[in-house]
Amino acid sequence: MDFVTKEDATAMILSAKRQAGLTWEGIAEKIDMSPVWTHSAAMGMNAFPRDKAEAIVACLGLPQETVSALTESPTKIWEQTVPTDPCIYRFYEIVGVYGPTLKALIHEKFGDGIMSAIDFDMSVTRVPNEKGDRVKVEMSGKYLSYNAW
């Protein structure tokens, strides 16, 4: 294999993950990154630093050519009308970039289902930080499994 695209890399990662019976937390632990970031980068929504790309390629036994694809800057596109308000837009960006990651991690931890937005709470907290204060958003929703019928 001479040339590997980001899409090829994602497909290979998902296949190797499935075949090895690994979780995103397990993979993330092996490459010393968070599961949320690891999944997002594996889905092509972030670029792996070279050392982390090499680590995940080694961990999953992927072709060496995959490293280049994983380190490329992503094109973050999702199909929806995006609001122009900067604060709301950033939340759309978060869901667009990390939505599939959140879904994958919820499914791994709970099974096939969703987080309720009805039985749900959220808090927004200001966290002092010497580099500039941070916004902390915490969400908690009841897990709802899909019914089989």
Active site residue ranges: 90, 93, 116
Q: CB atoms < 10 A from the CB of 46, how many? A: 19
Strand partners, 121: 140
Q: How far apart are CA 91 and CA 105, in angstroms?
A: 19
Q: CB atoms < 10 A from the CB of 67, how many? A: 21
Burial class for 100, CB neighbours closer than 10 Å (0-12, 13-18, 19+): middle
DSSP H stretches of helix in the chain: 6-20, 24-31, 35-42, 50-60, 66-71, 86-110
Residue 22's nearest CA partner among 108, 101, 106 is 108
